[in-house]
Structure 1
């Protein structure tokens, strides 16, 4: 009996979108790869939304992903989907529209994003991002878009997570750099100031 229900669940293929938002951090491509492989193993269609949420508004920024797209990307930095800090559909920055002071204006295109999401036939969107990106995802969920959030930040400052991916690599890299600078500072009898994120 359980076997029949499993087949029935797989009878309607799912159409899933994956998007990365905000800054990049180590591990993004590994998560994108895991999402793609997991979806394909279930017989689902998986689409990458390039350059953040704004990519949903542009046909040429929605790419169907297959296993060859994610082959060999686990240790590659950044994200194959691209990302942006300016892609908030609730306050989308427009470089083409300026206010009287010459500053870029913003507009709320969230309803258009939700409408396009539905028109494209997506069943859900997997959102990989930090606190700002996940706040946007929550807002889109309020508009009826099924969303799954994957927290990421090198700052390790997201609520409800003990350790975010990206943090460990950032600490290791910063520690290694500081150790090397310590030797240089000692050799030259100098004090060095190092600024790190987080």
Structure 2
């Protein structure tokens, strides 16, 4: 069997561990199996950029961050520089005799995978995102690593906030899903956690922070980049000609400084940005990545194409790509972690 493997979308701790597990599991089951790595995601399919993946070359990848195959977060063959290049991607698959494709990616990559699956390309997906926002999947690898970075940053910011009597605002990634801010904020002891799913009033936030400063002399705010104001507004910024969520941390700091500065309390902002994506995966993510990779290899051997692996109830299961494509997993109302946050941040 000849299998192609690609990593799409943003980089993420654990990608190399999945590549490793898929390759080792396939080659151990059948020494005749050939695994080809596709460079820079779907871009490599269109441009015919492939490399062999052998067990000896992937064994040491478990704890390495990033992806040895490279990735591209704006490489959609169905919208390639203003045209449909999907036929070119399919031609690459045929030219190399690839019998099935493993797509490791987030909601965008899995949506592209679903479109190819509908064209008859045998595909198995593996969910990847630090945002933890893939539908029908309880935990994505990379998320735990990102949360660890946020929690560590808040712990460090707390010492500065305490020393200077400041309010420190930390902005996290997550797009329209608040999982990183929620779990990172809880783990880092934030006094206020602001999410896209729970619109907040600036007046109420100011009052809460005033109480915290009065009680303990400082305060920490953990805000998701997609956090929503009570009027429904989100903060967007232009980066490279593309509108992206973000900048809420600095904007919020400006507003709070005007309100709290009159009382002698400084407000400062920190943007973690891509620090949340980089570095080695946590032990949890190394194990989850390995589980996903082995489960994907098994799905390939059983010809369970058109599915993505997902974690449900601590079990790796198969979910149709069509059920995941175009959907997003946000923090639902009444979630237990929201109740926890309501208690400890009150």
TM-score, length of structure 1 as denominator length: 0.83
Picking from 39, 64, 72, the partner of 2:26 is 39
Picking from 73, 77, 85, the partner of 1:85 is 73
Q: How does 1:100-139 map to 2 (within 5 A)?
A: 106-139=82-115
Q: Which has the higher contact order (CA 8 A, sep 6+)?
A: 2
Any unmatched runs of 5+ in structure 2? 175-346
| Matched-pair contact (CA < 8 Å) for 1:19–1:53 | yes
Work out the number of aligned pairs and report it: 172
Please state if 1:143 is matched with 2:130. Answer: no
| Matched-pair contact (CA < 8 Å) for 1:29–1:73 | yes
| Matched-pair contact (CA < 8 Å) for 2:46–2:86 | no
C-alpha deviation, 1:88, in angstroms: 0.6
C-alpha deviation, 1:183, in angstroms: 1.1
Distance 1:193 1:169 in 2: 20
Picking from 44, 51, 66, the partner of 2:54 is 66
- Report the RMSD for the aligned CA atoms in angstroms: 1.1
Larger radius of gyration: 2
TM-score, length of structure 2 as denominator length: 0.48
1:181 is aligned to 157
Secondary structure at the aligned position of 1:195 is classed as: strand
Query: Greater shift after overlay, 106-115 or 145-154?
Result: 106-115
Secondary structure at the aligned position of 1:145 is classed as: coil
1:51 is aligned to 40
| Matched-pair contact (CA < 8 Å) for 1:114–1:143 | no
Q: Detail structure 1 runs of 4+ shifted over 3 Å in the superposition.
A: none
Distance 1:143 1:54 in 2: 18
C-alpha deviation, 1:57, in angstroms: 2.9
Distance 1:154 1:38 in 2: 25
Picking from 8, 12, 15, the partner of 1:28 is 15
